[in-house]
Amino acid sequence: MNFLVLVSGNGSNLQALIDAERAGRFAPLGAGNGAASPEKEGRIAAVLSDRAGVFALERAKTAGIPALTEEPDRRLVQPGERQRDLSRRILCAAREWKADLIILAGFLSILRGEIIREYEGRIINIHPSLLPKYGGPGMYGDRVHRAVLAAGEKESGCTVHLVDEGTDTGSILLQRTIPVLAEDTVETLAERIHQEEHVAIVEAAAAMVAKLRKPE
């Protein structure tokens, strides 16, 4: 079962997936049982970034995983047109790498069009808030934590959800919650939520592998 992992930056969530794969977390019956039926084991087939030179690509190369870059075409001035063009190229990569599951692990472009339909129920995204709060266009990364602190929220966390035609609107697969502390800054809150994300993305990917695995 092939994963195509989409990234835009540091790639700590990608690293969690790489480490989990090595630990056998995507094997059929849990750790250590993958060797018996490798075709049913989840594996990162390729990593694709929408920005050149990001550290996530280095993490992929270090792990021996093909690292691809597909940047938005700046000549396309309409955001919708640019998103659809990038989405088409990502769909080509997904087909080429025979992806069964597409994982948005800190991916900051919006997917639109055919890829959403062709991979319906097989694209997951991690978001650093308790959706539906603090999601939608323009809400990503530290902007989310800044908004959570400004609103005086008592808790925050992360969400893994299926990707649909909207932005951060697909069915929620799982959430992890942490308290917001009085002394929290954007940096401390982001750091603690990142730790939760690394658990959540692995749990969600493992659950998807179990769900999508073809029956015996």
Using the minimum distance from each CB to ligand GAR, give the nearer residue, 89 or 194: 194
Q: Can you tell me the distance from the alpha carbon of 5 to that of 175, in angstroms, rounded to the nearest whole number? A: 20
CB of 139 to ligand GAR, least distance (A): 7
CB of 39 to ligand GAR, least distance (A): 28
- 128 contacts ligand GAR (rule: CB under 6 A): yes
Q: Can you tell me the distance from the alpha carbon of 108 to that of 101, in angstroms, rounded to the nearest whole number? A: 18
Using CB under 6 A as the binding criterion, the count of chain residues that bind ligand GAR stands at 16
Alpha helices by DSSP H, 97-185: 114-118, 142-150
Cα–Cα nearest to 35, from 24, 21, 19 = 24
- 109 contacts ligand GAR (rule: CB under 6 A): no
For 18, 97, 182, the CA distances from 14, given in Å and listed in that order, are 6, 17, 30
Could you tell me which stretch among 62-70, 89-97, 104-112, 206-214 binds ligand GAR (CB under 6 A)?
104-112
Using the minimum distance from each CB to ligand GAR, give the nearer residue, 27 or 67: 67
Q: Can you tell me the distance from the alpha carbon of 121 to that of 98, in angstroms, rounded to the nearest whole number? A: 16
Using the minimum distance from each CB to ligand GAR, give the nearer residue, 27 or 189: 189
Using the minimum distance from each CB to ligand GAR, give the nearer residue, 99 or 124: 124
Cα–Cα nearest to 30, from 203, 212, 197 = 203
Our answer to whether residue 198 is catalytic in this structure is no
- 10 contacts ligand GAR (rule: CB under 6 A): yes
- 105 contacts ligand GAR (rule: CB under 6 A): yes
- 197 contacts ligand GAR (rule: CB under 6 A): yes
b or e along 112-146 (b: 16 or more beta carbons within 10 Å of the residue's beta carbon)? bbebbeebeebbbbbbbbbbebbbeeebbeeebbe
DSSP summary character for residue 184: -
* Footprint on this chain of ligand GAR (rule: CB under 6 A): 9-13, 56, 105-106, 108, 126-128, 140-141, 194, 197
Residues annotated catalytic, as ranges: 127
